[in-house]
Amino acid sequence: MNPLASISGMSIPDFTSKLPSQLKDIAPKTIPLNEAQAAAPALTPHSVPNTQFVGTFKDVLGNFVGEVAQKQAVADDAVNGLLSGKNVSLHQAMISMEEASVSFQMMVEVRNKLLDSYQELMRMQM
């Protein structure tokens, strides 16, 4: 499915007519729909590796947190296997620990950005 297909029937208002004459020269020009479709290739789950297309923001965040928790569990299993003498290499344990650490740091940064955005929205005057 083409990502632009859902907006193909929409009309975009021309805001440049309301701009002062000095700004009309530098205002962005409208791109015809056929040129936009040609510039943006159709995205499918098979064309983007390791990407899940989910419906809601809640689902996306839930999947993200679930993936971080899964990486933490894999790292814990690797460390426990290494400590108990199972056939787990030190390299694999370190790699899984670093993956878990980086994914957790990324989750914390995403949370920070979301909180900053929320606080900025709350500061806006309606």
10 part of a folded domain: yes
Share of the chain above pLDDT 90, in %: 42
> Does residue 112 lie within any of the structural domains?
yes
- Considering the domain architecture, whether residues 30 and 62 belong to the same structural domain is answered as no
pLDDT at 33 over 90: no
Whether residue 50 lies inside any domain: the answer is no
Domain that holds residue 118: 57-123
How far apart are alpha carbons 36 and 42 in whole angstroms?
A: 11
> Average pLDDT in the 115-122 region?
92
User: Is residue 102 pLDDT above 80, yes or no?
Assistant: yes
What percent of the chain is predicted at pLDDT more than 70?
Answer: 56
Q: Are residues 61 and 113 in the same domain?
A: yes
pLDDT greater than 60 at residue 2: no
Which residue in 66, 78, 77 sits closest to 104, CA to CA?
A: 66
The answer to whether residues 64 and 113 belong to one domain is yes
Clarify whether residues 35 and 73 are in a common domain: no
The domain total for the chain is 2
**The pLDDT value given to residue 48:** 47
Query: Token pair 């957790």 is at which residue?
Result: 104
113 and 68 share one domain: yes
pLDDT, position 60: 86
| CA-CA-CA-CA torsion sign (55, 57, 60, 65) | negative
Taking the C-alpha atoms of residue 79 and residue 86, their distance in angstroms, rounded to an integer, is 10
Q: Identify residue 3 by its one-letter amino acid code.
A: P
Residues 62 and 19 in one domain: no
Per-residue pLDDT reduced to its tens digit, 39-95: 655 544 444 455 555 578 888 888 999 999 999 999 999 999 999 988 888 999 999
Q: Does residue 99 fall inside a structural domain?
A: yes
